[in-house]
Structure 1
Amino acid sequence: MPPLGTMSATPPGPDLDVVIIGAGISGIDAAYHLVTTRPEHRFAVLEAKPDIGGTWHTHRFPGIRSDSDLFTFGFGWKPWTGVPIATAQEILAYLNEAIDENDLRRHMRFDHSVERADWNSETSFWSLTVRRAGGTETLTCRFLWVCAGYYRHAAGYQPRWPGMRDYGGRIVHPQQWPDDLDHAGKRVVVIGSGATAATLIPALAETAAHVTMLQRSPTYYYPRPARDAFIDTLRALDLPATWEHEILRRKFLHEQRIVTRRSFEEPDALAADLIAMVRSCLGEDFDIATHFTPRYRPWRQRLAVVPDGDLFVAIRSGRASVVTDGIVRFTPGGLELATGEALEADIIVTATGLVLNVLGDISLRVDGAPVDVSQCWTHRGVMLSGVPNLAMVFGYLRSSWTLRADLVSAYVCRLLAHMAARPATSVVPLLRAGEIGMPARPWIDPENFNAGYILRGLDIMPKQGDRQPWVMTQDYFDDRETLPAADLEDGTLVYGQSAIRNGS
């Protein structure tokens, strides 16, 4: 069978076989897999922004860096040769190298925002409404691969507090960091204590008069050296880059697995170890109980890595401080806190999190009927019940996002090959008779992961069941065995041919 969408019958076939939405790390990985395993497919990567990078293009606040090690956050097919925790600039350079080394840029179309996708069962096409500088255009494809991430890039989560309009300083969210913001010599308050705040505060403290981290409740931190002695020793052996990368990848995966296991099996002991690390950075006299002893089990929210303990270095130096309290209102000069304290500030940074979204906020229709994604069942965390020829990427919350993106890429390419061999022009996940009525579970179990952005957005996400293939595992070590071995003829994937034979 010719590749999807290369048929010459009338009416004509689709413009492309595959459209990838998003040129961030997931979209680049998808493009690489298509080029290397399905070179006969015509595809394009549509990116709403003017350049590649996704998260690393959106976030431009001072100190921006990864909160996962690059040996697992980077691609399995391109060795990372830098330090484990990297800056946004280093990551963007790496992504651009990966694109150019594999000639992927010619497939990319920037400033192309997909607003709507309509599936037609008669033709087995997706018809995409794409907004670009000159207006809108329609683009058709056989298969839609959504790599648009998991949060809304246009705006972060911004709570509304009383008095915000009365505040005389500047309020900024890290996701929309202004290019003209000068914080030198200013009193800065950062609301929040997650990974963004932990990254931002040491960078601001270098030139600000003072930076205060204002948190409602404490977060777990993992201070570790920016350089790893094992990495330096390994690199001294001058091994081939691919060997070195694989060894280090396995090292960091092993560490992640141990920490995750301990968070479930011995959470109190893990909490004590993490808190002890912070105490070793701040000293015995610091009020660790108030400011750095969280009320939740470790890994119910992301564990913030702090390279060389730079957040705590800034606090010990007096250039930064931490206040644990609630906000009553904004005042003309700063903030009034629940304890009655007044916190003066020239700049207030609301590091208050993300807005979760699904499928890049694309309006989805199947044969004219709107699709409510929250009513769909996830098929292996990749496809959606009742939605043909569509795959989505949602990475891991406790491991690096790219680990799952890479597994999904291999799975989708295997599915495309299976469709070509069968042959079929469409595939749609459907529940079997015995699965109808199975218990519905949330996309992410809030008992195991309760970050604010997840809890705020669970109602828009697909549901999952209590058995495969209707489960989103969030477990790399399970997925790396089950996804490559998944049966594509288990009866839950229903294949078809288009009623109008435009190329099958």
Structure 2
Amino acid sequence: MHLPGAYGPVVPDDTHVDIVIVGAGISGIDAGYHVQSRLPGKTYAILEGRDAIGGTWDLFRYPGIRSDSDMYTLGFPFRPWTGGNAIASGESILAYLRETVELYGIDRKIRFGHRVLAARWSSNDARWTVDVHKSATGEPIQLTCSFLFLCAGYYDYAQGYTPEFPGRERFRGRIVHPQQWTPDIDYAGKRVVVIGSGATAVTLVPELAKRAAHVTMLQRSPTYIVSLSARDRVADWLRTRFSPQRAYDLARWKNVLRGMAFYSLSRKFPARTKKLLLKGIRQLVKDPADVAEHFTPTYKPWDQRVCVVPDGDLFAELDAGRASVVTDHIETFTETGITLRSGKTLEADLIITATGLTLQPFGGMSVAVDGTPLEPATTMVYKGMMLSDVPNLAFSIGYTNASWTLKCDLTSQYVCRLIEYLDKHGFTSCRPRRDPSVKQAPLLDFTSGFVQRSIDRFPRQGTTVPWKLYQNYPLDLAMLRYANVEDATMQFAR
């Protein structure tokens, strides 16, 4: 195990580093670990626009925030998760991330308050010039790097998505999006309406219900929900038999394979999977009419992400009468609540719009190659991490059907292997050349509204390897950790 500071002093504001990592969330921390472990001779800096590490887990502070993936796959493979719950609170996840950056000295490489605005590649110089806004002084600065690794996620940190609700301005109470939750928001003893049915909504409702007068989850249509134990009993048993790292690795693989089996079953046998999921709901919801109206989606399982509730907490609050679900459409906001299309009225003191994220490619930064601005939607994704005809640039994005970190960690490993290959053979740049014969498809095969609203702004995927995204960890493991870096698609240059 490495001690804090083992990787050298705090990174100064050098104007050139070998590798720039953008973002200090889970993927950026993972990237920093692999770069300093596998490429000890390289200099690197992590540019973080905010003043803290953690990304999503520092930004989102709404009540009850937690993981919707197990921590044995969401955690870093190099640092075992030792918390009690597999489905963990946002607070404990953030503590885990903070401890990790301190333990491995990654915090010494982070430049906080450095928001990346643009990056320009020069083939003549074989380097990127990165334009940065430095929040402490308000000044623009530039630095250069040989390789640019984007780990800033896929959504706009500044604001979430809220539809234009008719009559919104008439409501006399408070309206808040979970992404803008602040500690001063008081919901104790109040009537709360949560608009939405996704992961954020099903997380908020049971926590709010503990103190609110009543919480209503207002949804246009139902979502698939599965109740899982917050603890992983198999992982707990493994800890009593093996070393922490070995137990963690075994639990990780167990959960990877379980998740893959469920996803595969969902795609191959959607009707059977739907029946199985609804059977689980019927064990938690007494009234068959409620199951039919509020918990039976019209789409197939995994056309949208399946929501997880730990230990059935949402259903416990519904059963106790402290929360309820209404499936209807909004006609208009009123002074005291919401009028629905059915004519029903929901009285509210506080309305929370858990209506999704605003997707944003590459943290909103602009990119140019040899003076030509890059339009992400005109590019195709290579191995799920590089862009066609864009040199020395990789981006990290996780799975839609499994934990985010699984794919991000493989991406970090591959980027290090690629840089090692460049150095070994005396190359200064590499770029995947697009094959015009490969047909394109949307980057994400999801019907969720937040995806469909913005997916046209993102790069495309192809229909064949290495341009196709399989959302399959073992396949990606074979390709990114073990397969040759050199292939017919990648072009290297000196």
TM-score by length of 1: 0.93
Q: Given that residues 14 and 125 in structure 1 are in contact (C-alpha distance below 8 angstroms), is that contact kept between their aligned partners in structure 2?
A: no
Looking at both structures, which has the greater relative contact order when contacts are Cα pairs under 8 Å and sequence separation is at least 6?
A: 1
Deviation at 1:286, TM superposition (A): 5.5
Deviation at 1:14, TM superposition (A): 6.5
Which of the numbers 274, 282, 297 marks the counterpart of 1:294? 297
Describe how 1:430-441 pairs up with structure 2 within 5 A: 430-431=433-434, 435-441=435-441
Which of the numbers 108, 119, 123 marks the counterpart of 2:121? 119
Q: Given that residues 88 and 230 in structure 2 are in contact (C-alpha distance below 8 angstroms), is that contact kept between their aligned partners in structure 1?
A: no
Deviation at 1:331, TM superposition (A): 0.8
The superposition leaves residues 146-172 of structure 1 with CA deviations (integer Å, 9 ceiling, x where unpaired) of 000011111001101110011111100
2:253 counterpart residue number: 250
Deviation at 1:178, TM superposition (A): 2.2
Describe how 1:407-418 pairs up with structure 2 within 5 A: 407-418=410-421
The superposition leaves residues 268-327 of structure 1 with CA deviations (integer Å, 9 ceiling, x where unpaired) of 121112112122112245621001101111111111111010000011000000000000
The 2-side partners of 1:71 and 1:149 are apart by 21
Give 3-state SS (helix, strand or coil) of 1:406's partner: helix
Describe how 1:90-101 pairs up with structure 2 within 5 A: 90-101=92-103
1:153 counterpart residue number: 157
Deviation at 1:452, TM superposition (A): 1.5
The 2-side partners of 1:365 and 1:344 are apart by 51
Asked if 1:105 corresponds to 2:102, the answer is: no
Which of the numbers 293, 316, 322 marks the counterpart of 1:319? 322
2:182 counterpart residue number: 178
Asked if 1:474 corresponds to 2:471, the answer is: yes
Describe how 1:159-308 pairs up with structure 2 within 5 A: 159-237=163-241, 239-284=242-287, 287-308=290-311
2:56 counterpart residue number: 55
Which of the numbers 324, 348, 351 marks the counterpart of 2:351? 348
The 1-side partners of 2:159 and 2:433 are apart by 35
Q: Given that residues 16 and 143 in structure 2 are in contact (C-alpha distance below 8 angstroms), is that contact kept between their aligned partners in structure 1?
A: yes
Q: Which runs of 5+ in 2 are unaligned?
A: 1-13
Q: Given that residues 427 and 494 in structure 1 are in contact (C-alpha distance below 8 angstroms), is that contact kept between their aligned partners in structure 2?
A: yes
The superposition leaves residues 226-247 of structure 1 with CA deviations (integer Å, 9 ceiling, x where unpaired) of 223323333333x210111011
The 1-side partners of 2:479 and 2:488 are apart by 17
1:406 counterpart residue number: 409
Deviation at 1:473, TM superposition (A): 2.1
- The one-letter code sitting in structure 2 at the alignment partner of 1:468 is V
Give 3-state SS (helix, strand or coil) of 1:257's partner: helix
Q: Given that residues 84 and 227 in structure 1 are in contact (C-alpha distance below 8 angstroms), is that contact kept between their aligned partners in structure 2?
A: yes
- The one-letter code sitting in structure 1 at the alignment partner of 2:444 is I
The 2-side partners of 1:473 and 1:265 are apart by 15
The superposition leaves residues 304-356 of structure 1 with CA deviations (integer Å, 9 ceiling, x where unpaired) of 11101000001100000000000011111111101011111111000000111
- The one-letter code sitting in structure 2 at the alignment partner of 1:65 is R
1:442 counterpart residue number: 442
Describe how 1:360-371 pairs up with structure 2 within 5 A: 360-371=363-374
The superposition leaves residues 382-424 of structure 1 with CA deviations (integer Å, 9 ceiling, x where unpaired) of 1111211100011100000100001001100000000001111
TM-score by length of 2: 0.95
The 2-side partners of 1:179 and 1:213 are apart by 21
Q: Given that residues 279 and 286 in structure 1 are in contact (C-alpha distance below 8 angstroms), is that contact kept between their aligned partners in structure 2?
A: no
2:31 counterpart residue number: 30
The 2-side partners of 1:205 and 1:306 are apart by 15
- The one-letter code sitting in structure 2 at the alignment partner of 1:401 is W
- The one-letter code sitting in structure 1 at the alignment partner of 2:117 is E
The superposition leaves residues 101-154 of structure 1 with CA deviations (integer Å, 9 ceiling, x where unpaired) of 211111001111000111111111111110012111111111100000011111
Give 3-state SS (helix, strand or coil) of 2:304's partner: coil
- The one-letter code sitting in structure 2 at the alignment partner of 1:347 is L
Identity rate, percent: 47
Point out 4+ residue stretches in structure 1 off by more than 2 angstroms.
Answer: 227-237, 484-489
The 2-side partners of 1:255 and 1:337 are apart by 40
The superposition leaves residues 436-481 of structure 1 with CA deviations (integer Å, 9 ceiling, x where unpaired) of 2332211123xxx211221112101111222222222222121111
The 2-side partners of 1:489 and 1:240 are apart by 37
Q: Which runs of 5+ in 1 are unaligned?
A: 1-12, 498-504
Describe how 1:373-388 pairs up with structure 2 within 5 A: 373-388=376-391
Which of the numbers 460, 463, 469 marks the counterpart of 2:460? 463
Q: Given that residues 215 and 323 in structure 2 are in contact (C-alpha distance below 8 angstroms), is that contact kept between their aligned partners in structure 1?
A: yes
2:3 counterpart residue number: none
Q: Given that residues 438 and 466 in structure 1 are in contact (C-alpha distance below 8 angstroms), is that contact kept between their aligned partners in structure 2?
A: yes
1:10 counterpart residue number: none
Q: Given that residues 158 and 350 in structure 1 are in contact (C-alpha distance below 8 angstroms), is that contact kept between their aligned partners in structure 2?
A: yes
The 1-side partners of 2:375 and 2:387 are apart by 11
Deviation at 1:486, TM superposition (A): 3.6
The 1-side partners of 2:449 and 2:483 are apart by 33
Q: Given that residues 262 and 270 in structure 1 are in contact (C-alpha distance below 8 angstroms), is that contact kept between their aligned partners in structure 2?
A: yes
- The one-letter code sitting in structure 2 at the alignment partner of 1:98 is T
Give 3-state SS (helix, strand or coil) of 2:105's partner: coil
2:86 counterpart residue number: 84
Q: Given that residues 14 and 142 in structure 1 are in contact (C-alpha distance below 8 angstroms), is that contact kept between their aligned partners in structure 2?
A: no
